[in-house]
Chain A
Amino acid sequence: MTWTWLIGAVLFLILAPLAGGLIAGIDRKITARMQGRVGPPLLQPFYDVGKLFEKERVVVTTAQNFYVLAYLIFIALSGALFFAGGDLLLIVFAFTLAHVFLVLGAYAAHSPYSHIGAERELIQLMAYEPMIILAAVGLYMVTNSFFVADIATTAIPIILYLPGVFLGFVTILTIKLRKSPFDISTSHHAHQEIVKGITTEFSGSTLAQVEIAHWYENVFLLGFVYLFFAWNPIIGIIAVAVTYFAEIFVDNVTARVRWQAALKSGWVVAGALGILNLAILSYMMTGGA
């Protein structure tokens, strides 16, 4: 048993908020340019979070602070497990548990907007969960291991075996990054539709924790995208950048859909792209033997 896995986890815990904040800054800048605006400074997300820690702590239901902290811890834990090369299934379940805590936090407050946001977050969870698990299964079928350490060091070009799974994963990535057309629970761009959805009742440092958790989450998800291209690090990094740029582009050119359409899209890509891809792959594997 070596201690090298610990280095990945510690580096993730320290560097991911910095990387995540920078990615958010670049995201806002590119979005502004796509809309013909100058846009905020690159470090704006850090100013926002710093500001939130300076604000007064206004909490109606103190339980929500506990849930949001649990959300942050479990997101950071699942990301740390990922970068430590841990078991993909455990990571996916820790990741889901984190979002359950966020939903519980939103339900703890007595606000109809917060409740609608929480319900929509549950719907999103239902929409993307099958595809994430199929992605983990697909990576296992190709590399014969659920461990990220093995998948990341494989010499097999996974993307060639799992193009459908990858496209499905990129689709649900739009849900996970809280981007249009699936930005239904936080109402991030449609500010006044359900006030602020799931984050309506979180303010000050609690909201800052949600934001930091989102940075951790984004870095973890981009790491997941990298796994599909892990056989060649250069192609991998380019693929991650292109994927994120495509997400920003889609965010800017699409209108938001209703929750029914979000749920259907999540399941249709899981069924049509994910399961079909895995079925063909398993047929080819058994057929060859």
Chain B
Amino acid sequence: MRSGPTWFNVTSLVLGFSFLYLPIVLLVVFSFNESRLVTVWGGFSTKWYAELLHNQQLLDAFWVTLRVAFMSATLATVFGTMAALVLVRSGRFVGRSLFSGMVFAPLVMPEVILGLSLLLLFVAMDQTRGFWTVMLAHTTFAMCYVAVVVQSRLVGFDKSIEEAAEDLGCPPARTFFQITLPIIFPGVIAGWMLAFTLSLDDLVIASFTTGPGATTLPMKIYSQVRLGVTPEINAVCTILVGFVTIGVIAASLVTKRQQAQRERDERAAFGAH
């Protein structure tokens, strides 16, 4: 039963992955349905996609969401990478356990609490709510995910390379950009993508922290879903799913190629001796 897939293992994998993927596949299929009744097949059509292009509110919301996601993912990647470096490399300092607590707690904290507390902070700061408050809120919870992803990359690599650079008189900042960053780069990219999709996806925190004029796409989808399932929503969802799938596959191909390139470089470097 150990070696090779058994009948039981294959069945559980097939059933498990069908459970994970079937709902999404059905959603995609029914976005191409001619009929307005979303659960009755009425022939192939792309008319719902054409209709999306005329829905200005939806397009506006999509544009807001993309901008928020891009900016918050970038900021979160910078702060999250710093936090990961602190966790792995900074040794002991006063308040270290508080720091690691603050990095890990948002990962499991219910979104309603995060959203409510950030909203009350922005109110206390007398901050007008809108685009910027959503962006700051997303940066805060996404940086914790980035920190975890980058941390796992940092733990795995040989610190002696950094130490060698510093012994040879390389200033710390340069060591970081020339040695550490290139090595952890796949982790940083994965962190950015995770932050981007988390922001693209978030409904609860955005609903609490947004203001007039900054309705995000998930908020728009949510308000329409409450009224019922429609083929337009299926079409929007299909576009988002396609977007993310292409992004993830592209990123994994890029990291794979980088990894192969580095292995070739290392072999070449050692072979030269």
Q: Do A and B come from one complex?
A: no
Interface, chain A (partner B; CB < 8 A): none
Residues of B that sit less than 8 Å from A by CB = none
